[in-house]
Amino acid sequence: MINLIGPINSGAAVGETGTGDATATGYSSIAVSGLIHTVQVKYNGTPPATCDVVIATKGNSAPVQTILTLTDKNADGTFPVRVVGCSNLGVADASAVQKIAIDDIISVKIDQVNDGDSVDVWLLMEN
């Protein structure tokens, strides 16, 4: 079954107005479980071109896993996310690209934005 989870909001960034040095981190209200097909990102406010977004698991049930990192981006978008698999010997195998499997709280962090900017994130998930 395919589900759209979200929005998960970063929270309003706090910092000096107009300097691009504000930051914020928000979390999903519940643990999200399944395979991620795509991540949709919507920017709120007027984040500068220096805006960085990091979407990751919180690390409650397993080590933190980065799902998507957007560096110096401030335009809405949909991003298919995948990880490179590995052989049974633990060697990276680029031919074994897989969807990201998660079961944890999701964190959405923004950096280098203006005071009050935020980001909404949706995950298209397969359960």
Model pTM?
0.91
Domain CATH for 35: 2.60.120
Triad 16, 64, 52: Cα angle to 5°: 30
The rounded distance, in Å, linking the Cα atoms of 122 and 106 is 11
Is residue 93 very low, low, confident or very high in pLDDT (cuts 50, 70, 90)?
A: confident
pLDDT at residue 42, as a whole number: 98
**Residue 7 and residue 42 in contact, taking contact as beta carbons nearer than 8 Å:** yes
How many structural domains are present in the chain? 1
User: Domain range for residue 116?
Assistant: 2-126
Question: Is the Cβ–Cβ distance between 10 and 24 less than 8 Å?
Answer: yes
